[in-house]
Chain A
Amino acid sequence: MIAIRSLVKYFGNRTVLRSVNCEFAPGRVVGIAGPNACGKSTLMKSILGLVIPDKGEIEVSGISARMDSARGEIGYMPQHASYPARLTPRELFELVAALRRKNPTRREELIDRFAVRSFLDSPCGTLSVGTRQKISAIAALMCEPPILILDEPTASFDPVAAYTFKQLVREESKRGSTILIVSHIVSELEQLIDDLVFMLEGRVLFQGSFDALSNLAGTSDLELAIIQLMQGTTHLHSEDTAR
């Protein structure tokens, strides 16, 4: 469970988040979408403690996001998996498990599912972008965190890895995890998400279920519905909009 209240963030004179309020419930896969520079990455980074908000409060599983322990609840998969060139995936997994003080219960299973066992002792600098992304997915999922934040997760995956990853997301969702996916790939969102948060100019313009958005936009095509939101041709009802 993630609760965000009146979140405001400035970068210099620019207001990036304008009093954002939203909640993400357990067992739901939520897509965060919006045009470039709408604030979705800043929102995600605020939850992760990477960006420090100027006003407002974020609670992660009932713990203030300002506390270091809140991040123990979150598995994070960044858009660009960049690791020190000489670090091996095995060492990375050991480091992440040590920092999280948790047993990486799913590590071996995930290594097999992503077929990366032969790369475990290779320096990360020698791995392809796609393999590094698989390593990143394993690092995020192996300790079974109750919340997952995935930034453009399948952008570098081959079709097999993308399929495996989507299966994993569905399994995690059934297990009761809260999953946030930031993505520009509408087809990916369409396949995975239960709810959508649409942001525009630092505000949450829509938060609701995929079905609610379809009804509102009068189309079951998510891409078209999102385009309508961006163009302002879909009129939002109070029950579906965030404050």
Chain B
Amino acid sequence: MTAAILRYECFNALRSKWLYAYTALLTTTIFGLAYLAADIRRTELVLISVLILLVPLVSMLFTTAYWYGSELFTELLVAQPVSRRSIFWARIISIVASLTTCLAIALFVPTVTLFGFDRSLVWLFLGMALAGAVFCCLGTLVATYVIDRLWGIGLGLAIWFYFIAVHDGLLLLLLYWFREYPLDHLGAGACAFNALSIVRVGLLLYFDAPLLLGHAGALVSGLAEGKMVVPIFFGLIGGWLVIPLVFAQRRFARRDF
């Protein structure tokens, strides 16, 4: 039953012209950046800064637009003898899978063409795919709770902007105001409340580029100790994936159409 919906949802998402345009734009951008950087390591560092903005934004917009755009069709699916849980999971899996496929094509085709395969590209892809997936989950949460599509898409953009800029700014301000207190651990812990900080710090620690970490990242890198970094990274990202989906699924299961 889930397989039938999943197959349909994947076909439907992959036939979106939006996704083709996104893939083409991202591929061209990455190709241009890679060509100018002329070095795999520099390209990867530039791509972290660019993709950490672009991938979550597109994921949030695509996910919310997809849920709102298929509202009446969702109603028709819910009226069929199939559980709401199946409809929900088929949709979220298809959205994440289609966006991740676009990212994979856009990231690997230009870089592998120019520099050949590098293992660190896989980590870059993994980090960005996880960041995108987190924003798909947050977009789903927004779309299931907020009925009005303009409010929903607006809230989605506000969440993206908070994670991109506001969170680190607030953290910096708090640390400045309370600079006489030893708040390093608290500041590092605050990173857990921003999925993008987690991904950025994880990647920059892997690429050994502390200068690009930003304030929150610098706090974490100072406290990060060896082998615990990877489990903490995946644990926190796992939380950011699971928690929004649990709430979104509960809401979807109980909502009225």
Which residues of A approach B to under 8 Å, CB–CB? 11, 45, 48-52, 68-72, 74, 76, 78, 80, 82-84, 86-87, 91, 95-96, 98-101
* Given A45-B257, A86-B12, also A74-B79 (CB < 8 A): yes
Stretch in B25-33, B68-76, B114-122 with 4+ CB within 8 Å of A: B68-76
Give the docked Cα–Cα distance between A203 and B77 (Å): 29
B1-19 with Cβ < 8 A to chain A:
1, 4-5, 8, 11-12, 15-16
Task: State how many angstroms separate the Cβ of B84 from the closest Cβ of chain A.
Answer: 8
Q: Which residues of B contact A78 (CB under 8 A)?
A: 72, 75-76, 79
B62-102 Cβ-contact flags toward A at 8 Å (1 or 0): 00000000101101111111110000000000000000000
B75 cross-chain contacts in A, Cβ below 8 A: 50, 78
Of B4, B5, B73, which one neighbours A83 at CB under 8 angstroms?
A: B73
B254 at the interface (CB under 8 A from A): yes
- Give Cα distance in the complex from A76 to B73, angstroms: 12
A82 CA / B257 CA spacing, docked (Å) = 14
Give every chain B residue within 8 A of A49 (Cβ-Cβ): 78-79
Q: How far is the CB of A85 from chain B (nearest CB, A)?
A: 9
A76 touches B76 (CB 8 A): yes
B positions within 8 Å CB-CB of A: 1, 4-5, 8, 11-12, 15-16, 70, 72-73, 75-83, 254, 256-257
Q: Which residues of A contact B82 (CB under 8 A)?
A: 68, 71, 99
Cβ-defined contact, A84 with B5, below 8 A: no
Which A residue's beta carbon lies closest to that of B12? A84
- What's the nearest-Cβ distance from chain A to residue B202, in Å? 36
**Interchain residue pairs with CB less than 8 A apart (27):** A11-B256, A45-B256, A48-B78, A49-B79, A50-B257, A51-B257, A52-B254, A52-B256, A68-B81, A68-B82, A71-B79, A71-B80, A71-B81, A71-B82, A72-B80, A76-B76, A78-B72, A78-B75, A82-B72, A82-B73, A86-B15, A91-B8, A95-B5, A95-B8, A98-B4, A99-B77, A101-B81
Q: Which of A45, A83, A95, A100 has the most CB of B within 10 A?
A: A95
- A72-B81, A82-B73 known, 18 other contacts, Cβ within 8 Å: A45-B256, A49-B79, A50-B78, A68-B81, A71-B79, A71-B81, A71-B82, A74-B79, A76-B79, A78-B72, A78-B79, A84-B73, A86-B15, A87-B8, A91-B8, A95-B4, A99-B81, A101-B81
